[in-house]
Amino acid sequence: MTDTELLERITVRGDVFGGKPIIRDMRIAVEHVLAMLAAGDTAETILEEYPDLQTEDIRACLLFAHRSLAGEHVHDRVAVRKAS
């Protein structure tokens, strides 16, 4: 999966978590997945706790964080969805 395809998994909806980046339009915040990883949870643990997630979603979160810290404007490339 390309970086572009991974980043397409990250979306923003103003009505979900105050417009924070989420995964595939679900109510799972990128920052939550990153916090779990930082706390020492493995990808396998996260996937067990959130069966709707896929390995590529975790990779997308890491890529999003990396690109953000590298100074890239990834927020400009994230799909913004209207409230449903």
The confidence score (pLDDT) of residue 71 equals: 82
CA 80 to chain centre: 13
> Scanning the structure block, which residue is given the tokens 């990779």?
59
Query: What is the model's pLDDT at position 51?
Result: 97
Q: Which pLDDT belongs to residue 22? A: 96
Mean pLDDT rounded to a whole number for the chain: 90
pLDDT 10s digits, 20-50: 999 999 999 999 999 999 999 999 999 999 9
Tokens of 31: 């920052």
Closest CA to 10 of 71, 69, 65: 65
Selected residue with higher pLDDT from 82 and 18: 18
